[in-house]
Structure formats: C-alpha cells, structure tokens
Chain A
C-alpha cells in the first residue's frame, strides 16, 4: 500500500505526468472534436483514422518542403479533402455511412502509404513551443500551461470553440437541429445537406490536425499507418462523452492518462506476463466508461443526435 502511495506521489502528482498526458491526449482530442461536430449534425464518419493519416502526411510533407506555418493548414486541408469524398458519397450519393466511412479509412491508409513513400525515413526539426522561455520558467504552471507547441493550444481552442458554437450560436443550434431530426429541420427550411457537408469538412480538418500532431510534433517523422488506431479511440471518446464537448475534453485527457499510466507502471518493474494486460487497460477502460455512460438510456437519448447515421433524402 505504501508502495502504491509512493507511486502516486512520485509519478502521478507530477508536472511531467500532466505534460505527458496532454501530449498523449492532444491528437485524440483534435480528431474527436471534429467527429463530435460531424456526429452532432447527424452523420457518423468512421473514416477518422484515414483522415488523420492524410493530415499526418500532408502536415509532415508541407513542413519539410516549406514551413510549419504551411504544414498546419496543409494538414487541415488534406483531412478535409478526404472528408469531401465521404460527404459526396453519403450526402449526394446517399450511400451507407458505416460502409463509406470504413472504405475511407482503408483508402486513407493505402493512399498515404503510396504517396508518402519518399518521405519515410527523413527527419524533421521538432516544433518549438509557442511561448518563449520566460513564462515556461514559472513553476508548475509554466510547463503545463506555456510549455506546448501550437497544436495543444489549437486543440483547446477547438474544443472550447466547438462548445461555444454548438450551444451559444444560432448556427450551432441549426446544426444540432439537423442532427436531431433532419426531416423537421428540412421542413423548417434548413439546408440539411449543405450543413452536413460543412460539418463533415470541418470534422475532416480537425482529424487532419490530429494526425499532423503525431507526424509534426510527437514523433517528427512520416511513417505508413503511424496513427496506429488513434482514429478509433477518438470515435469511442465521443460516446464516452455523450456528445458533450466538455466531457470530451475530460475524456481525452483521461484516456491519455491511462496510456501514460500503464507505461509508468511498467517502468517500475513488473512481470512480463502482466504487461499484456496492462496494454489492454486503456481499451477495457474505454468499454467500462462506455457502459457507465450509456447505462442511463434516457440521458444518452437526450444527448445522442437522433438522426445519426440515417440517410437523408430531400424530396426535391
């Protein structure tokens, strides 16, 4: 027990733990923020992983060839470009969203591997923190608040902005209305398809940024399939958050904490046989949290966009 206490004090209640968690969570938070907007509009896009890879490659390539300033928008653009394919298929051609999303993921994995080949194995200068040395020197607050690269701040602005947009603006209200009941929204004169196109594109841009965080900041290199399943975790986080932005923020950091925690437990020396089960922890925890969050059916129904995944076909 005292060992556990010591582990908590020396490992979890540290600044470095907080910083590591933010680093692990940021790509998930970015991608999940985008998907939250998409799902709030009543669309389920399972292509997050593919869009993240597109962003990772575009961000890396543009940063290496030109500059970081170009890399960031390039990543968002690449994610949005893949999202456009999804939007065209599901909104214009009225295809099944699950199938189209899966196709997009496989397509994204494959096409980035083909196009990205020349960039593999080439290094990229790590991105500098946004703030200067001064504020970073402040104890505790410094590294946690001021020590990050631009992506971390983008992710925070993104999730706060999403909350504001969804719940404090008229446009957000319309988007949610479309997600709740597209037929009524259409009857009220909302351009359902147009709104969903916009949401899907924004979602793709966020996913692209999430991927780019991995190829530009976390491990500044491009490698095929480097997002290694993050897109799927991002999808799970949204249900965990019951489609609410603030909970999503919390959920992403919680998942990041679990990931870092299992590695830190290993670092203290455990039996090899245990490591397989430690690796399972973040996934099992996701399931557990999904169960807890979904338990209250009424609450879930209240928050889940009712039209999600359903095909909308306007009469004219």
Chain B
C-alpha cells in the first residue's frame, strides 16, 4: 500500500532533481516513439538534442521561439496560482498584434524608432481589453473565465481575418490578406549579426526579472504564493476576489498582448492571416512546466523553445512528422506533473492501510 505524506516545504534541490528526471523520462519516451515510427532512435535523438545548440542561429531561433511563450506564461501563472483560468491567451495575443498594427497605421507607419514603445504599449492595451471581457463577465455575471476566454480566441481569429482581408489589406499584395510592412525603424531588428536575437527579448527578460523579484521579494508576491497553497481561496491574500480576478486577467492579457505586438514588430513585420501560431496555448504548458514561478517559466520556455527547434531539425534531417513535437511537449508536461508528486509528497510504503483520516487540502 502506498501512502502519500505531504511535505511541508518542497526543497529546491528536489524540484530541480525531479525536473531533470522528467526531462530524462521524456527523452526515453521520445526514443521509444522514434523507434516505433521506424527511425533510428539514437540518431534522431542526437540530432534533436544537439542541433538547437549547434549554431548561434539555432540558439537564437530557440530564444526567439521561447520569448513570447515565456512572456505569456509569466502572466498566466499569476492567475493560475489563484485558480483564475485564463486559457484564451491566444486571443489576447492576436488582439495585441491587431492593436499594435493599429498604432503603426494610426501614426502613419513613421520612420522613427521612438514609435516602437507606442506600438508595444498599444499591443499590451489590446490584450488587456480582450482579457477584460472575461474579467468583467466573471466579476459581474459569474461566467467561467476559462470558457469565455477560450471562446474569445475564435472570435479574435475572425477579427484578425476581417482586419487583414477587409480593412488593412496592402494594395500592393495582389489581394493576399496582409498589411503593409512596418517601416524598418519600427522593426525590432536583429541585435547581433548572424542571429535573430531582437530587442523584444530584452523586454521579456526584464519583465521576467521584475516578476521574479515581485514574487520572491515582496509582500504581494508572498500573498500570491500563499494563494497557491490554499487552492480554495480564489484570491490573493489581502485582495478581494474581484480584485484578484481583475489583476490576474489584466496582467496575463496585457503580457499576451505585448507578446503579440513584439512578434508583429520583430518577426512578422506585418500583420497577416497566419499570425496565430498557437503561442497562447503552448504558453499554458510553459506555465505549468515552470511550476508557475517566474524563474521556472523562463527555463520552461527555453525547454519548449528547444523542442520546437529540435523538432524542426528532425523533420528536416529524418522527415519525422511535425506531430512528434506535440507529443514531446505533451509527454514532457505529463512527466513533470507526475514527478511533481515526489516534490509535494513523501511516498511511504505501508503494509496495511491505516484508518487515520487527514482532511485532504
């Protein structure tokens, strides 16, 4: 008979150890999967593991992919700690890109780098406004933000189609649904020659650092962490339920919107109907991989970015189906969740089940 005894304080060492264990288990699972698909497992695995780090370009690819994931996940995690389930970050991300593009066009696509902050702030506002809808519906009408935020993803998608097809279509694009390109001054250019590393990543790192300090070094952060330990609370200690809902959704929506504007300015450089790459959904995985804490999320984002770049490489080198990356990410999350058991509980083997009743959480 297995008995689980909750640990009062999960040690950092144990958390790190179980994370490594989860990664190893995922790799083992991946190897079995490759073998079953008829590929040489060791060869594929070695390409998967080494290629994302094999050149500066690949490393920068990894960082560029991880950037928006980290940014979105940082915001989501704050709400998740208080059981506020925003799973519609993809929609907020799209609204961020739409508002960012709106700012670009409203300013007349100016040739000045000083407009960049305006574009980014507009993006954050767009994301916040979109997230304000589930927040308002939750606080005023008690409607589940999990479902309303998700439904709004589909709405945002259509809104994007409408904007690029009907409103902002570039007259020179032969009718294809895309806007004009952002002026070069508005594009977050590569900071380092021969890589894709762009200034938006500095924004990501800064925000991660601020949130890390906020979480681990302030009273607010302490309250936030307390919220996680008392799952029934549905609020951060010291804040009302409504305030908690608003803080969570506006922050996560704002960061998702900011990520959308950064992607607009740094990677797409224009708005088109292909803007939705699923960052908002993948970021949910990143948030949980990072165990909802800012430092963990940065690592989680890098890990998922790694699976994207490595996943692309094994598609190129061995023609492996792109679904392999999906399965990898899902199994990584499964194993992290499973290994979490060890950090949260002490597993004891007992010969007979005791009849002692400890109220569970």
Which residues of A line the B interface, CB within 8 A?
46, 85, 89, 93-96, 98-100, 102-104, 106-107, 109-111, 113-114, 117, 182-183, 186-187, 224, 229, 232, 235-236, 239, 272-273, 276-277, 279-280, 283-284, 286-287, 290-292, 294-295, 297, 300, 309-316
B contact residues around A98 at 8 Å (CB): 80, 85, 87, 146
Interface-lining segment among B49-57, B115-123, B189-197, B331-339 = B331-339
Measured CB to CB, the nearest residue on chain B to A187 is B357
B150 touches A294 (CB 8 A): no
B285 touches A106 (CB 8 A): yes
B contact residues around A94 at 8 Å (CB): 4, 341, 344-345
Which residues of B line the A interface, CB within 8 A?
1, 3-4, 6, 33, 37, 80, 83, 85, 87, 137, 141-144, 146-148, 150-152, 154-155, 158-159, 161-162, 165-166, 231-232, 281, 284-285, 288, 321, 323-327, 329-331, 333-334, 337-338, 340-341, 344-345, 353-361
A185 to B356, CA, bound (A): 16
B contact residues around A314 at 8 Å (CB): 360
A311 to B360, CA, bound (A): 8
B142 touches A111 (CB 8 A): no
A276 touches B154 (CB 8 A): no
B155 touches A290 (CB 8 A): no
B336 → chain A, closest Cβ, in Å?
A: 9
A290 touches B148 (CB 8 A): yes
A50 to B258, CA, bound (A): 30
B142 touches A287 (CB 8 A): no
Measured CB to CB, the nearest residue on chain A to B337 is A95
Q: Is the interface of B mostly helix, strand, loop or mixed?
A: helix
B326 touches A107 (CB 8 A): yes
- The verdict on A229 contacting B143 (CB below 8 Å), with A89-B334, A94-B4, A310-B231 known, is no
B345 → chain A, closest Cβ, in Å?
A: 8
A287 touches B360 (CB 8 A): no
B155 touches A235 (CB 8 A): no
- The verdict on A315 contacting B356 (CB below 8 Å), with A110-B324, A113-B323 known, is yes
A300 to B144, CA, bound (A): 11
- The verdict on A109 contacting B337 (CB below 8 Å), with A235-B147, A236-B150 known, is no
Measured CB to CB, the nearest residue on chain A to B284 is A102
A contact residues around B142 at 8 Å (CB): 294-295, 297, 300
A contact residues around B154 at 8 Å (CB): 229, 280, 283
A contact residues around B285 at 8 Å (CB): 99, 102-103, 106
B contact residues around A113 at 8 Å (CB): 321, 323, 326
A96, A113, A229, A287 — most chain B CB neighbours (10 Å): A287
Measured CB to CB, the nearest residue on chain B to A282 is B154
